[in-house]
């Protein structure tokens, strides 16, 4: 536990007789939990989106092409063209009340809700790209005396592009520390009971709220280049397992609730089928009322609110569909709170 008497030697009262006395006070003995999501621009403007995309798309975990090939494309084309269009899309979903993106709003709420479960654990949240950074928050936890820190990447399905990238940033940050905290990284939770039941329960509640039942349901996950899957990324298999478990829980067939992948970026072949094509085909084949569930996202964001709830809705209605609903992500629901508390308790076992 922290000893407030100063001056103080690090870590122990078992100091040798001739120990130096000028050591700065070091708080110690607490447990910290750091929730980490992807990251988001600071504002829905071209320049803020450019700053965000520059950091995001420079990560070799996200785009693994040789830098000599990728950087000219990134700086010559993508960062000149994409930010303006993406900023327009962020404007459509921006939370004006708190002047932030939904992803940031819900990530903060998730951390605040999780903190209510513990008296003696400090809970913080960070973003892999942009702010607040992982390094800033790990240093803040350390300064608050956390010598044991659990990091929970907020991605239910493991991918090198997301989960491993968080781990990279965590260890880059501790690399700069003299007295490193003990670090644990929570594993993927694609098949966790509380996650599947949370998805099932919030979906049922949503259908009750809207007052109609869909003819078909698309289980849409963020996509990846197929090459990453072929190189050993387990993401596709984790998505397929989440989809199967949710179908089993709800009594849905695979035909009724097919798996699809959204958010394709660039020219490479990505995981298929593409969600927008699946949604269009459903309308063309006579489905009138559909729902889209996006279990790969624990917080609503541009990909769920703009790409699906605005753009894919338009695709479906233009192709002859009549009713479309995007089921909200787990966000700041009690179900999400239970899930995070379960993960935090299990993964801090022996610490708390």
Provide, rounded to whole angstroms, the least separation between the CB of residue 222 and ligand L6N33NVT.
Answer: 4
CB 250 within 8 A of CB 274: no
Is residue 40 part of the contact set for ligand L6N33NVT (CB under 6 A)? yes
Q: Quick one: which segment of 23-31, 98-106, 151-159, 255-263 binds Fe ion (CB under 5 A)?
A: 255-263
222 known ligand binder = yes
Q: Give how far Cα 327 sits from Cα of 91, 263, 292, Å.
A: 21, 17, 6
Find the binder of ligand L6N33NVT among 94, 105, 155, 261 (CB under 6 A).
155
Find the binder of Fe ion among 307, 308, 316, 331 (CB under 5 A).
307
Q: Return the residue matching tokens 């988001």.
A: 40
Cα–Cα distance for residue pair 6/3, rounded to 1 Å = 8
Cα–Cα distance for residue pair 14/54, rounded to 1 Å = 49
CB 214 within 8 A of CB 316: no
Q: Quick one: which segment of 138-146, 183-191, 276-284, 296-304 binds ligand L6N33NVT (CB under 6 A)?
A: 296-304
Based on the number of CB atoms within 10 Å of its own CB, is 195 exposed (0-12), middle (13-18) or buried (19 or more)? buried
Find the binder of ligand L6N33NVT among 33, 35, 87, 103 (CB under 6 A).
103
Is residue 162 part of the contact set for ligand L6N33NVT (CB under 6 A)? yes
303 known ligand binder = yes
Is residue 101 part of the contact set for ligand L6N33NVT (CB under 6 A)? yes
Strands 146-153 vs 182-185: parallel, antiparallel or unpaired:
parallel
Q: Which does 188 bind (CB under 5 to 8 A by kind): ligand L6N33NVT, Fe ion, none?
A: none
Q: What is the DSSP letter of 271?
A: S
Whether residue 132 has a cis bond before it, omega within 30° of 0: yes
Find the binder of ligand L6N33NVT among 8, 184, 222, 313 (CB under 6 A).
222
Q: How many residues of this chain bind ligand L6N33NVT (CB under 6 A)?
A: 22
Q: Give the residue ranges of the annotated binding site for Fe(2+).
A: 222, 303
């Amino acid at each position: 536990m922290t000893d407030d008497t100063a001056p103080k030697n690090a870590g122990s009262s078992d100091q040798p007789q001739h120990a130096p006395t000028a050591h700065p006070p070091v708080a110690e003995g607490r447990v910290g939990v750091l929730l980490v999501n992807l990251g988001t621009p600071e504002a829905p403007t071209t320049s803020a989106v450019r700053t965000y995309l520059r950091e995001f798309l420079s990560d070799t975990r996200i785009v693994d092409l040789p830098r000599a090939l990728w950087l000219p494309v990134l700086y010559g084309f993508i960062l000149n063209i994409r930010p303006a269009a993406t900023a327009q899309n962020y404007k459509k979903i921006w939370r004006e009340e708190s002047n932030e993106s939904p992803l940031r709003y819900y990530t903060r709420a998730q951390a605040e809700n999780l903190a209510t479960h513990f008296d003696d654990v400090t809970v913080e949240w960070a973003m892999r790209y942009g702010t607040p950074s992982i390094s800033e928050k790990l240093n803040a936890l350390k300064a608050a005396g956390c010598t044991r820190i659990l990091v929970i990447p907020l991605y239910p399905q493991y991918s090198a592009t997301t989960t491993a990238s968080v781990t990279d940033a965590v260890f880059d940050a501790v690399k700069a520390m003299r007295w490193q905290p003990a670090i644990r990284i929570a594993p993927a939770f694609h098949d966790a009971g509380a996650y599947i039941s949370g998805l099932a329960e919030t979906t049922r509640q949503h259908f009750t709220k809207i007052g109609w039942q869909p003819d078909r349901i698309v289980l849409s996950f963020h996509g990846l280049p197929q090459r990453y899957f072929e190189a050993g990324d387990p993401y596709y298999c984790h998505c397929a397992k989440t989809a199967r478990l949710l179908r089993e829980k709800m009594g849905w067939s695979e035909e009724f609730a097919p798996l699809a992948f959204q958010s394709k970026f660039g020219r490479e072949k990505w995981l298929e089928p593409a969600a927008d094509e699946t949604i269009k085909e459903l309308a063309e084949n006579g489905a009138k009322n559909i729902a889209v569930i996006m279990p790969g996202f624990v917080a609503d964001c541009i990909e769920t609110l703009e790409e699906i709830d605005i753009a894919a809705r338009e695709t479906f209605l233009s192709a002859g569909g009549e009713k479309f609903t995007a089921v909200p992500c787990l966000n700041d629901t009690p179900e999400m709170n239970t899930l995070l508390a379960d993960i935090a308790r299990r993964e801090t076992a022996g610490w708390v």
